[in-house]
Amino acid sequence: MPSFVPSVCGRTMNLSSFKLLALIALSIAMSSVASADIIIGGSTLNGNFNADTSTDDSRPFTETPFWENIGTGTQDQEATRTTLPNTDGSRNAVLSHDEAKVFGMNTGYSILEGDVFDIGYDWRDAFNWNDATDQVQVSLFVTADDTIGGTRTNLVQVLSGLSTTNNTYETVDQNGVYTAVAGDSAKILFVGIDTISDDGGGFGRLDDFTLEVTPIPEPSSVAFVGLMFGLVALRRRK
């Protein structure tokens, strides 16, 4: 029985042309596999808190690019220090249970339905941190008017877990913390970093914050790839 070779636009393809088209489909399939894009991380939007190159130890939010204080206090609140460094020996964020200080950022990212978000960071306990109750809390949120001070709707709030080793940075990798729904589309994404505590008064440190998004593949690419692999399957059955 002769092998089946599909036709395109009324023309029967020879086997070489069919193989070439199959290779093209495979290439598109590989490129269509969703990969994570960095929104915050490293020097991107000062995820490593090192954009401020001052040699001074304590620095306020006014000198900390991209980050701002969304707590009840002013932008003169302490934001970063060079003491208690992470493994890279660099500047890091100072967290506290005081509601006057909450790290916030307008990421500038416009959400698409189906976006999947991952977060990560290094953190450690510091002065008066209660290892039995205290945790870091990261919030992804949107607002009614796409400004960071607008009426807020939390998409997700994710906790670090309790400190397991005193005076030591621990790594948090939390994948797929939120998948955007249709109602989130075209809204600007905001980030908040805070702490939760039963007794208050403690401090922590945070460094190397990352926020990544994995968008869904373009529908046209998915449809084309599905068509080509359907043809491949059909040819094998003939």
Of 98, 111, 109, 192, nearest to 149 by C-alpha is 192
* CA angle in degrees (0–180, nearest 5) for 41-47-51: 125
Q: Classify residue 77: in a domain, yes or no.
A: yes
Q: Classify residue 17: in a domain, yes or no.
A: no
Per-residue confidence (pLDDT) for residue 22, from 0 to 100 = 53
Tally the domains of the chain. 1
7-24 pLDDT, tens digit per residue, is 545 555 555 655 555 555
Which position has the higher pLDDT, 11 or 67?
Answer: 67
68-83 pLDDT, tens digit per residue, is 999 999 999 999 999 9
Q: Please tell me the least confidently modeled range out of 127-141, 201-215, 219-233.
A: 219-233
The pLDDT mean for the chain works out to 86
142-172 pLDDT, tens digit per residue, is 999 999 999 999 999 999 999 999 999 999 9
Which position has the higher pLDDT, 120 or 236?
Answer: 120
Q: Which two tokens stand for residue 103?
A: 């790290």
Q: Classify residue 7: in a domain, yes or no.
A: no
CB 120 within 8 A of CB 176: no
CB 25 within 8 A of CB 225: yes
- Domain carrying residue 203: 37-214
Q: Classify residue 9: in a domain, yes or no.
A: no
Per-residue confidence (pLDDT) for residue 35, from 0 to 100 = 86
Q: CATH number for the domain including 108? A: 2.60.120.260
Q: Classify residue 235: in a domain, yes or no.
A: no
Q: Classify residue 220: in a domain, yes or no.
A: no
Q: Classify residue 158: in a domain, yes or no.
A: yes
State how far the alpha carbon of 215 is from the alpha carbons of 42, 90, 114, 191, 196, in Å.
21, 32, 7, 18, 31
Task: Give me the sign of the Cα torsion angle 161, 214, 140, 67.
Answer: positive
Please state, in angstroms and rounded to a whole number, the distance separating the CA atoms of residues 31 and 34.
8
Q: Classify residue 219: in a domain, yes or no.
A: no
